[in-house]
């Protein structure tokens, strides 16, 4: 639904849910034409952070901003996963140098210009495999453990994450045993 008159309140409300960021489409829904977006870019109220993604300059910064931008780039279809999700669930203290996002398998056929620092994995995730970490979707702790085990991440790293998750009640020893016993094939 596009508003006829620009509404900074509507734009802010959308940005508030996304760590201060909005897409061109969301801005249009708040009544902002491309020309008006350009005016706010020139005046310094908005800054372009990626093609079609803007940040409200005076919105408080967040450690999750880069992750939000990647999620908005995916059109709200991606879910942060693998080592990135492991870190966000505090099941690893290793900050990955590349953000991993799982997108639908139909994306394999797309010709994409993937942002630098983002790696895509392909899977059709069910709702039970998704959770939220602040403003961004992330795979659940159990799905994350399945993913990192299948991706042949170092066994010690996976076992440590599994033990931490069991100790914190994120999953059971039985669930972990089934995951670690599964043969997911050869490493990628």
Range of the domain at 28: 8-56
Please indicate, yes or no, if residue 188 is contained in any of the structural domains. Answer: no
Are 142 and 74 part of one and the same domain?
A: yes
Which residues are within 8 A (CB) of 16 and not within 5 positions of it... i.e. 6 or more apart? 59
Q: What is the Cα–Cα distance from 80 to 141, expressed in whole angstroms?
A: 11
Same domain? For 73 and 21 the reply is no
For residues 100 and 35, membership in a common domain is answered with: no
CA distance 171 to 90: 14
What is the rounded CA–CA span in Å between residue 104 and residue 125?
A: 7
101 and 19: one domain? no
Is position 187 within any domain? no
Residue for token digits 């033990």?
163
Kindly state whether residue 158 falls inside one of the protein's structural domains: yes
Q: Averaged over 17-42, what is the pLDDT?
A: 97
**Do 76 and 142 fall into the same domain?**
yes
117 has pLDDT over 70: yes
For the chain, the domain total comes to 2
The answer as to whether 48 is a domain residue is: yes
Q: Are residues 106 and 49 in the same domain?
A: no
Mean pLDDT of 40-65: 96
Q: Is it the case that residue 182 has pLDDT exceeding 80?
A: no
The predicted model scores a pTM of: 0.89
Q: State whether 76 and 155 are in the same domain.
A: yes
Average pLDDT over residues 23-28: 97
pLDDT, one tens digit per residue, over 122-172 is: 999 999 999 999 999 999 999 999 999 999 788 899 999 999 999 999 999
**What pLDDT was estimated at residue 155?**
87
Considering the domain architecture, whether residues 52 and 69 belong to the same structural domain is answered as no
């Amino acid at each position: 639904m596009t508003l006829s008159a620009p509404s900074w309140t509507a734009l802010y409300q959308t940005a508030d849910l996304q760590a201060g960021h909005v897409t061109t489409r969301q801005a249009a829904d708040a009544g902002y034409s491309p020309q008006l977006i350009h005016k706010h870019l020139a005046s310094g109220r908005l800054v372009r952070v990626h093609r079609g993604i803007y940040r409200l300059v005076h919105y408080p910064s967040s450690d999750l901003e880069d992750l939000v931008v990647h999620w908005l780039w995916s059109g709200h279809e991606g879910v942060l996963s693998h080592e990135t999700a492991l870190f966000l669930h505090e099941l690893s203290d290793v900050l990955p140098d590349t953000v991993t996002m799982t997108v639908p398998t139909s994306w394999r056929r797309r010709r994409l210009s993937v942002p630098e620092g983002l790696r895509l994995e392909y899977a059709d995730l069910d709702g039970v495999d998704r959770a939220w970490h602040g403003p961004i979707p992330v795979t659940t702790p159990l799905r994350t453990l399945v993913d990192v085990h299948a991706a042949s991440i170092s066994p010690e790293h996976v076992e440590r994450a599994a033990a931490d998750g069991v100790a914190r009640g994120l999953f059971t020893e039985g669930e972990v045993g089934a995951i670690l016993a599964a043969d997911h094939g050869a490493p990628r």
